[in-house]
Structure 1
Amino acid sequence: MADVRRREGEWRVKAKFKGPVIQRRAQIDGSTTDQRLLDSRGPTDWVHTDPWRVLRIQSEFVEGFGTLAELGAAIGVFGSARTREDDPAYAQGIEVGRKLVEAGFSVITGGGPGAMEAANRGASEAGGISVGLGVELPFEAGLNEWVDVGIVFRYFFVRKTMFVKYSQGFIVLPGGIGTLDEMFEAVTLAQTQKVTEFPVVLLGVDYWSGLIAWLKDTVLASGKIAQSDIDRMVVTDDVDEAVALMAAARSRHHQG
């Protein structure tokens, strides 16, 4: 396999990153570090290897904290890696990145293609700090070309900690399973008061309305959540509104 190359707006996976390590050609393995950590099947050598993994996990936290400690006010932007450049959500992602920078924020994404690339691009082109927090996956490689500060993690939970620690809020573009995971984790942390002043904005009324309706008509109606949980998620098509909500939360944080 050759290097990662980008042609006609698409990413072709030609390599695999395992944290700071790159694998190509016959050296690409078929599993991930997370998979091996969480798999308790097989011989009992895990008794001897898992304690050593703690050192690798520790090193990832140290690397992340050291790289992002001076980042300042930042907003996490989530969205699908499958968003094409001709998708309106891609143009909206660029606008989000640009306007966040104009409002004084750095932009943090998962560092991949699609909507993440768009937000990184908007931030970078606007002269702001464009951050990508990648993770080892079997089907994606490396960071998009618009990431100016990037880290590729081995462990999902370390990467998620960095998102939550260094983002003051989240703007969520249309996305799939990974985007939903990130969005609901942010809402859960706000609901359980693990974080404060944590606005979550979903961009795309047509895309997100079905989900919100299900939450209201099924989950809320059956008493599984409260109305305040739904109210934590603002749905809009207006990028200016989304950025304004992030700025307002920042102001309240400084006043408090």
Structure 2
Amino acid sequence: MKEKFENDDEWINDSLKQKSWHEIRSNDSWVIFKIMAEFVNGYETMARIGPCVSIFGSARTKPEDPYYLLAEEIACKVSNAGYGVITGGGPGIMEAGNKGASQGSSPSVGLNIELPFEQHFNPYIDHDKNVNFDYFFVRKVMFVKYAQAFVVMPGGFGTLDEMFEALTLIQTKKIAKFPIILVGSSFWGGLMDWIKNVLIEKHHNANPEDLNLIKVVDTAEEVVEIIDNFYKKYSLSPNF
């Protein structure tokens, strides 16, 4: 585990010395079977649950933080509106999401990732709806495949990665369009300004209409309204 080392250089050097290049290459083929097993387990578990709303955010957010409390409120309202809630299964915003969902009427699901720090299952996941992953990319497939919406709370690099993954897949029409909702205008405002003013208007690296893929809100009521209106528009309904 990384924490036993004093710095990143020691960790990297130890990792590289553990196996020869030949050993690494010879094991690559066997890793494929482990990846396949994670996909099969994820698909079988999630197919029984059905599509949900995925809630993302920082693992470091404390229970007294206003965004923790807001995520809990959002998850409860989403659950009572008939949508299951998926989180990364860990602490912080993920815990808040599962806690709120557990107070509602729909499933509370956790997709956990094995990490050397921060991550562990929170106690608010339905006992038969927690899935563990070693690979981030397998886990992200589950988030996207079974999501009817993404609710993105303030977070770090992992949260940004998951958000932009979904945006890219929708933009390139690799998956069907669904709502991507950023919660916290004071947190996300700078990023949205940069996307509009620099990414789009200055460098033309995306289309202006791509901004329509994202909604920025500040309340739980707005989140539920956006999701409900989207699915009413396309004559869809919650899956539970």
- TM tier relative to shorter chain: 0.7 to 0.9
Partner of 2:62: 84
Partner of 1:69: 47
SS at 1:44 equivalent = helix
1:234 aligns with 2:215: yes
Q: 1:119 aligns with which of 90, 97, 100?
A: 97
Paired with 1:195 and 1:248, the residues of 2 have a C-alpha distance of: 20
Partner of 1:13: none
Partner of 1:159: 139
Paired with 1:43 and 1:73, the residues of 2 have a C-alpha distance of: 42
Give CA deviations for 1:90-144 in whole Å, capped at 9, x if unaligned: 1101111101111100000011111110010000022421101011111134210
Q: Which runs of 5+ in 2 are unaligned?
A: 5-9
Mapping of 1:25-174 within 5 angstroms? Answer: 42-148=20-126, 149-174=129-154
Query: How well do the aligned residues superpose, as a CA RMSD in angstroms?
Result: 2.1
Aligned-pair distance for 1:194? 1.0
Letter in 1 for 2:83: F
Letter in 2 for 1:174: P
Give CA deviations for 1:32-76 in whole Å, capped at 9, x if unaligned: xxxx8xxxx842123321111111111111110111102223100
Paired with 2:198 and 2:89, the residues of 1 have a C-alpha distance of: 34
Letter in 2 for 1:83: T
Letter in 2 for 1:98: C
More helix as a share of residues: 2
Paired with 1:114 and 1:122, the residues of 2 have a C-alpha distance of: 12
Asked whether the equivalents of residues 200 and 232 of structure 1 are also in contact (C-alpha less than 8 Å), the reply is yes
Q: 1:202 aligns with which of 182, 185, 193?
A: 182
Give CA deviations for 1:180-223 in whole Å, capped at 9, x if unaligned: 11111111111001111311000101111111011111111221
Asked whether the equivalents of residues 204 and 236 of structure 1 are also in contact (C-alpha less than 8 Å), the reply is yes
Aligned-pair distance for 1:253? 4.5
Moved more, 75-84 or 222-231: 222-231
Moved more, 44-53 or 182-191: 44-53
How many residues in Structure 1 have an aligned counterpart in Structure 2? 221
Aligned-pair distance for 1:163? 0.5
User: Given the two structures, how large is their TM-score scaled by the length of structure 1?
Assistant: 0.81
Partner of 2:227: 246
Paired with 1:86 and 1:99, the residues of 2 have a C-alpha distance of: 20
Aligned-pair distance for 1:252? 4.1
Asked whether the equivalents of residues 170 and 199 of structure 1 are also in contact (C-alpha less than 8 Å), the reply is yes
